[in-house]
């Protein structure tokens, strides 16, 4: 295995050496939400109507053949922090680059939120379907009706890498 691939696996798939305190994760989530509200029309009233949402302010993804991604975020229910979570995954395939992005996962139904809370995290492709939206439309989000139980919004992308895939992603509770 090439040295670069081993280094990337070590960086992205291992537990972080520095664990962010809850206050920093929450403050970064507040900042990311302000960015989400300013870039997606109607997002603030939309999120006020959902049962809860996860906000991951910074998810870092990198890879060269082998890849990994990691970020930490917070679950908010009724405007309060309900718990902290990690977002991680790995992949193998034709890929190269580094990327940073933010992610909001909105739980539209109480059933979806309860399922998430009662499980030990969530694994994409196993624990339910999730529609991923990269918002590039001028439509008002608060006027759109979604039929899914949960919807993910990707925003604030920076860097050079392929598109988001949640197929090998796991969201796990963390203690902060």
Query: Of 141, 63, 133, which is closest to residue 102 (Cα–Cα)?
Result: 133
More confident residue, 136 or 71: 71
Beta strands in the chain (DSSP E): 52-77, 80-107, 122-123, 131-134, 150-160, 169-174
pTM assigned to the model:
0.79
What number of residues does the chain have?
A: 176
Integer Cα distance of 25 and 18 in angstroms: 13
Ordered by start, the domain boundaries in the chain are 3-125+140-174
pLDDT one-digit tens code per residue, 16-68: 555 689 999 999 999 999 999 998 888 999 999 999 999 999 999 888 777 88
Integer Cα distance of 94 and 18 in angstroms: 30
Q: How are beta strands 52-77 and 80-107 bridged, if at all?
A: antiparallel
Residues 85-114, mean pLDDT to the nearest whole number: 87
pLDDT one-digit tens code per residue, 116-141: 898 877 776 544 555 566 555 556 67
The three-class DSSP label of residue 46 is helix
Integer Cα distance of 91 and 169 in angstroms: 9
The three-class DSSP label of residue 125 is coil
Averaged pLDDT of the chain: 79
pLDDT for residue 56: 97
The count of other CB atoms within 10 Å of the CB of residue 54 is 24
Contacts with 128 (C-beta within 8 Å, 6 or more apart), sequence order: 112, 115, 122, 149, 150
């Amino acid at each position: 295995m090439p040295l670069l691939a081993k280094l990337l696996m070590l960086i992205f798939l291992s537990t972080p050496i520095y664990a962010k305190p809850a206050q920093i994760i929450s403050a970064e989530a507040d900042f990311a939400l302000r960015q989400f509200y300013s870039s997606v029309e109607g997002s603030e009233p939309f999120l006020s109507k959902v049962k809860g949402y996860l906000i991951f302010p910074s998810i870092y993804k990198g890879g060269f053949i082998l890849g990994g991604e990691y970020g930490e975020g917070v679950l908010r229910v009724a405007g309060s922090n309900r718990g902290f979570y990690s977002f991680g995954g790995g992949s193998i395939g034709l890929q190269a680059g580094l990327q940073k992005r933010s992610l909001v996962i909105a739980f539209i139904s109480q059933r979806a939120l309860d399922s998430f809370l009662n499980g030990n995290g969530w694994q994409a492709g196993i624990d339910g379907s999730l529609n991923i939206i990269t918002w590039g439309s001028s439509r008002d989000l608060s006027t759109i009706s979604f039929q899914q139980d949960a919807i993910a919004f990707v925003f604030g992308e920076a860097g050079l890498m392929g598109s988001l895939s949640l197929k090998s992603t796991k969201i796990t509770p963390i203690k902060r």
